[in-house]
Amino acid sequence: MRLRDKHYEIDMLNGPVLPKLISFALPLMLSSMLQLTFNAADVIVVGRFEGDAALAAVGTPGSLINLLVNLFMGLSVGANVVVAQCFGAGSFKETSDSVHTSVALSLVGGVLVGIVGFVFAGFFLSLMNTPAEVLPLATGYMRIYFLGMPANLLYNFGAAILRAIGDTRRPLTYLTVAGVVNVILNLIFVIVFRMGVSGVALATIISQMISAVLVTLCLIRSDGPIHLDVRRIRLYGDKVKRIARVGLPAGLQGMVFSISNVLIQSTVNSFGKVVVAGNTTASNLEGYIYVAMNSIYQAAITFTGQNVGARRYERIARVARDSLLVVFAIGASLGGLFMLFKHALFQIYTNDEAVIAAAAIRSNVIAPTYFLCGMMDTAVGLLRGMGASVMPMVMSIMGVCVFRVVWILTIFPTNPTLFMLYVSYPISWAVTFAAHMICYFHVKRKKYPLTPTA
């Protein structure tokens, strides 16, 4: 038996769903929050020691980075689903081939995205109307950041493989180690060596390399179906197709999402560097709510995927009910806490009252309604766990991306305020969640009816 791996696995096929879903999601939630905290150290350090221009320079490339990375991050979702389904079906060889294909995809994708991001950083940022005083700093930050892209994707694919067997604890450990290194290097590079945003970017890629090495060693030392043999790392054609069937629509959806976010960021940029800095501050803090909810999205994918692979179709409804209830509770409670303490939280990043006021405009709209985003994403996770990825992609593109673009081009010009810009978020979340739930009931009734299990 795989004793070492068994210690970290969660039995998703038997017994009550809710406690196991929470057991799966909690380490993932903590690891995501830690990662965000360590990333926030980038913003806090430059905001405190380098000023508003540097703060804006670190925040501005975020949506652009996501645009370039999301295709392969979507493939990591596909890897999670395929490994979970193979593992749930009890197929050692199929699981192993999926693991080695996933690692190969991460390395190929990391190199490709790294080259594109490095070469075209300045061009893309110019297209986003990045303020002139911010552009050189943002370009330098982005170029260094993309040098670490192979390590970034390798870690994310490796963590997706571990999540597929129910292991969210070891990624938490690896991110903690890498994150502590990131914070220490931030302080050394920015405060001691005065390297500014370049030092922040360098600290980030070093920490990403550490997390990538740790997750790779974990897979190599595993003695079950997720064991990684470097000599077998290659693209197995049938596994590439299965991963792409789920992952490409997820990645394309993420890219289109990012296009709409780039458009919104470009509109935010037109208000000047104070508003850009305020938007960066608010979005960094709101990220804690998002990653907490995203852990339930990941749980929905993995629990549904394993039960589909094991043909335990009667458990899908329980996974859906419990995951949606939990994500609502998380989003609503954290959003409420954020509203109570937002001014004090903003002051962690900056003492500039104009920046704080700009941050408050965004958070007053986003924080109280963020649970809608979590429920929307969780519904997508349920569909992807069932192997349906094109349908949620189309619904998400129409309900979120197209809606926001139309909003910016038609509604926003009638009242060009930050409030009118930000309110497009919760409206699009609500509409798209409703559409996803209709799709969920349709797919479940058609493909996974309640049939007795063997």
DSSP letters for 74-92:
HHHHHHHHHHHHHHHTT-H
Give, for all 454 residues of the chain, the pLDDT tens digit: 344 555 667 888 899 999 999 998 998 888 888 777 777 777 777 777 777 777 777 777 776 787 778 778 888 989 998 999 999 888 889 999 999 999 999 999 999 999 999 999 999 888 877 888 888 988 999 999 999 999 999 999 999 999 998 888 898 899 889 988 988 998 899 888 888 888 989 999 999 999 999 999 999 999 889 999 999 999 999 999 999 998 888 888 877 777 777 778 788 888 888 888 888 889 888 989 999 999 999 899 999 989 998 889 999 999 999 999 999 999 999 999 999 999 999 998 888 899 999 999 999 999 999 999 999 999 999 999 998 888 898 998 898 888 988 998 899 999 999 999 999 999 999 999 999 999 999 999 888 876 544 3
C-beta of residue 149 within 8 angstroms of C-beta of residue 69: yes
Q: What span, in angstroms and rounded, lies between the C-alpha atoms of 407 and 348?
A: 33
Quick one: tokens of 386?
Answer: 């069932």
Where do the H-state alpha helices sit in 128-195?
135-147, 149-164, 169-187
Read off the pTM. Answer: 0.78
**427-444 burial, b if ≥16 CB within 10 A, otherwise e?**
bbbbbbbebbbebbeebb
Contact (Cβ atoms closer than 8 angstroms) between residue 77 and residue 204 = no
Q: String of b and e for 67-85 (b: at least 16 CB within 10 Å)?
A: bbbbbbbbbbbbbbbbbbb
Distance between CA 292 and CA 89 in Å, rounded? 29
Cα dist from 36 to 42, 218, 329, whole Å: 10, 23, 21
Lookup result for tokens 């197209």: 402
At position 341, the amino acid (one-letter code) is: F
CB-based contacts of 254-257 (< 8 A; 24+ apart in sequence): 254/66, 254/70, 254/71, 254/73, 254/74, 255/67, 255/70, 255/71, 255/74, 256/396, 256/397, 256/401, 257/66, 257/70, 257/396, 257/400, 257/401
Could you give the maximum distance between any two Cα atoms of the chain, in Å?
66
Integer CA distances (angstroms), 254 to 63, 129, 260, in order: 11, 22, 10
Q: Compute the distance between CA of residue 392 and CA of residue 377 in angstroms, rounded to an integer.
A: 10
Contact 274, 358 (CB under 8 A): yes
Distance CA 188, CA 190 (A): 6
Select from 62, 66, 75, 61 the least CA-distant residue to 123: 61
Give residue 188's identity as a one-letter amino acid code. I
The residues, any chain, with a CB within 8 Å of residue 289's CB and separated by 6 or more, are: 330, 331, 334, 335, 338, 367, 370, 374
Residue 205's pLDDT is what? 93
122 burial via Cβ count (<10 Å: 0-12, 13-18, 19+): middle
Q: How many CB atoms lie within 10 A of CB 8?
A: 17
pLDDT at 454: 35
Q: Give the CA radius of gyration of the chain.
A: 21
What would the DSSP string read from start to end of 116-128?
A: HHHHHHHHHHHHT
Two tokens at 53? 């221009």
Kindly state the helix (H) or strand (E) to which residue 438 belongs, with its residue range.
helix 424-447
Task: Please answer whether residues 83 and 157 qualify as being in contact, where contact means their C-beta atoms are separated by less than 8 angstroms.
Answer: no
Give dist(CA 19, CA 89) in Å, integer: 22
Q: What sign results for the dihedral spanned by CA atoms 246, 248, 249, 254?
A: positive
